Structure 1
Amino acid sequence: MDPVFLREIREKEISLMLPHFPAGGKVLEIGAGTGCQALALKRAGFDVSAIDIASSGAIFERVYPVTEYDGKNIPFPDGTFDAVFSSNTLEHISALEEFQTEILRVLKPGALAIHALPTPAWRLWVTALHPVWVAARLVSMAAGLLRPGRGPAEPAVNSSLAGTGRGEKGGGARLRNVFCIRRHGERGNYITEMFYFSRRWWVELFKKTGWIVERDFANRMFYTGHMFLCARLGWKTRLALSAVFGSAARIYILRKRTSKKN
């Protein structure tokens, strides 16, 4: 995985969301990873706190302070933030409806939540390109075995961009991670995730858990969990490809419901 390219994607992603954040507000990022997007928000003038679980497996060094938490209880008082933000995080939370209550708790009345989430198109292309990824991984593993004192490289971490491995250890686990198509998130399997990543599923979930869906839109970037070509495929090309093959993520702008009527 190319960490520079991953950072570029995250910076492009946050630039699409910046106009929707309340100016100068207090923002919480959930699932912050290395903190690169939290840093971008800080530089844009926001008061930013960032949290993630201890086993998040950040790909490169953290660039912003990230508080570790248990993945269930957000470590802040009620009504602390003007906005909550997450990027490709909610699909990894098993008790998702209960966690919405936690997000609502730490938000001020009428505050916003902004989430970037993978799409069915992203899931489709991760699955379709799996044979190509298998071939590349086998070549990499063989090269590793031929080097003195070195074994095959570990599978890619199960991040939002690398949804093909879960970091298991041991030779048998390495081979399973190579040949088996894994689900990316916490629901269904690699086939039914097409439904669980759909706009329909997310909008229904948000509405029934206390949110007003103000707007949602595609990020207009084409990439897969295999990180093929990385920076060698320009952003204009990725924009054009997204019009044909679909965008990798969708952004949801939500507002905390202040009463049962609205």
Structure 2
Amino acid sequence: MFNIEFLHVIREFEYKEVIKRLPARSSILEIGGGTGYQAKRLTEDGYSVKSIDIPNSNYIDQKEFPVMPYDGRNIPFPDASFDVVFSSNVLEHVGDLPYLQHEIKRVLKPGGKCMHLMPSSAWRFWTNLAHYIELIQRELPHMPRLVPNGMSRHALKDALSVLRLMIGTARHYAVVPRHGERGNAMTEVLSFSATYWKRVFRKSGFAIHEASPTGLFYTGHMVLGHEVSISKRQQLAKWLGSACIIYVVRPREGQ
């Protein structure tokens, strides 16, 4: 189940993969900054960073860095402002992606590049399964109370109340929700693939310089969380697939 501390452990691992690919002393725009954790880390390592996110971000009350609110469409900076545009698990949530890609090209300096971390098909597949594992995790603690502690009216009423609660939880988990803006949880297994996103980037006028797995396995439900170490998750990624792919792209000349 969701845990902000474990999320930061994951982001720290991914951050180390990102920083390997960043030119020293770059000016960076982060889109979809969330808590600002990665922007804070970049700043600590000497980069000049601006971070933006929509005003109703899920992390509005968990800020670790001054993330600037914006309208989700128009990047609030002048042309040719940044060496790098960076995002982590953001582009799949953008409704009008062609417009945002146009804005990204506008604020990049000549010769600048983009680095986007994106969830993979493996992440989507295993998150679909983990959805029902999380259902079991939520239901198990209630199961002992399904057996009435005696035949009193109070005991029977309590067991019936627990049964209703469990049925309501099961209904809530009946359908796996989609993660991004398009399709559903099943079609996202395809639309989160590297093949799909390479096509999207090329269509938007970007050249693909890299599309590499980050080498860490996890799901959107954080099953077992801290109980599975980062080193074990790296081993799992070799067999089950990496949760994220890092894309390095540059605008094509004249586009």
Pairwise same-fold verdict (TM > 0.5): yes
Match for 2:173 among 150, 167, 178? 178
Structure 1 length normalisation: TM-score? 0.84
CA contact (8 A) 1:114 1:251 kept: yes
Structure 2 length normalisation: TM-score? 0.86
CA contact (8 A) 1:3 1:59 kept: no
* Structure 1 CA distance for aligned equivalents of residues 43 and 30 of structure 2: 11
- In the TM superposition, what is the alpha-carbon distance from 1:141 to its structure 2 partner? 8.0
Find the counterpart in structure 2 of residue 10 from structure 1: 11
Alignment-mate amino acid for residue 95 of structure 1: D
Find the counterpart in structure 2 of residue 232 from structure 1: 227
Find the counterpart in structure 2 of residue 75 from structure 1: 76
Runs of 4+ in 1 over 4 A off after TM superposition: 139-143, 172-176
* Structure 1 CA distance for aligned equivalents of residues 244 and 141 of structure 2: 29
- In the TM superposition, what is the alpha-carbon distance from 1:40 to its structure 2 partner? 0.9
- In the TM superposition, what is the alpha-carbon distance from 1:237 to its structure 2 partner? 0.6
Residues 173 and 116 of structure 1: is their aligned pair in 2 closer, same or farther, counting only changes over 3 Å?
farther
Partner SS for 2:10: helix
- In the TM superposition, what is the alpha-carbon distance from 1:207 to its structure 2 partner? 1.0
Find the counterpart in structure 1 of residue 184 from structure 2: 189
Q: Deviations over 1:11-61 (max 9, x none)?
A: 110110112112101100000000000011111111000000111111862
- In the TM superposition, what is the alpha-carbon distance from 1:174 to its structure 2 partner? 6.8
Indicate yes or no: 2:108 matched with 1:88. no
Q: Deviations over 1:46-105 (max 9, x none)?
A: 100000011111186211100011111111111100000000000000111121001111
Match for 2:202 among 195, 207, 216? 207
* Structure 1 CA distance for aligned equivalents of residues 170 and 3 of structure 2: 22
- In the TM superposition, what is the alpha-carbon distance from 1:3 to its structure 2 partner? 1.3
* Structure 1 CA distance for aligned equivalents of residues 84 and 9 of structure 2: 23
RMSD of aligned alpha carbons: 2.2
* Structure 1 CA distance for aligned equivalents of residues 237 and 61 of structure 2: 27
- In the TM superposition, what is the alpha-carbon distance from 1:256 to its structure 2 partner? 2.1
Find the counterpart in structure 2 of residue 44 from structure 1: 45
Residues 221 and 54 of structure 1: is their aligned pair in 2 closer, same or farther, counting only changes over 3 Å?
same
* Structure 1 CA distance for aligned equivalents of residues 38 and 128 of structure 2: 27
Max Rg structure: 2
- In the TM superposition, what is the alpha-carbon distance from 1:176 to its structure 2 partner? 5.0
Report the structure, 1 or 2, having the larger helix content: 2
Gaps of 5+ in 1: 144-151, 153-171
Aligned length: 234
